[in-house]
Structure 1
């Protein structure tokens, strides 16, 4: 029996292929299956966020990116996707599938408070 990480990597590879071939309905079916089989994993939500962004559903994309981040806050690909989607100007950066061997940087974000005392997560400067 395969371990969860191997299953998620294979899932991601299949979905990446569907997305590249513009077979989005098949990608969504596979993602839904991944969500059902791995309810504690962030990657299926990250993948659905990518599909939603391709479909120009930015609200739907953000919902799934936020769910992915809540489930896997150490996955920097998910955080970069959120940053890319939230940019006031399009960054032109590709969205990340979440299974890349990305460097997980601890402490790259801090909380800054505005004059109303509301905390905002921002990238560390310097």
Structure 2
């Protein structure tokens, strides 16, 4: 691999930019900003993993196979749709709850909830776009 065209990276740069802009627009104290930037990093990791699982789900469905999503803490769970899986990640999973607890301890729970919601919406939009592209 000698040039960048040979490299595939899933990194969600658009999401990272959106999340960071929400933080930096608020003029928060250093400790809160640091906490929220750590949360952004965790959200990006979770999004990247979710994208991989979404791709595997599509492959399993194409082959008429059942797919179990790997959720927080090595639990496997079946979801009726990818949207249900995405909503679970950013609303009721152990991951989302841990993010909210960490943010609450630093006094930035509202901003953390906004970050989770932004990531949820981005993944749902991406899923809708991919589904539309596959149908066409």
Q: Which has the larger radius of gyration?
A: 2
Higher RCO structure, 1 or 2 (CA under 8 Å, sep 6+):
2
Instruction: Give the structure-2-normalised TM-score.
Output: 0.29
Instruction: Give the structure-1-normalised TM-score.
Output: 0.30
Which structure has greater helix proportion? 2
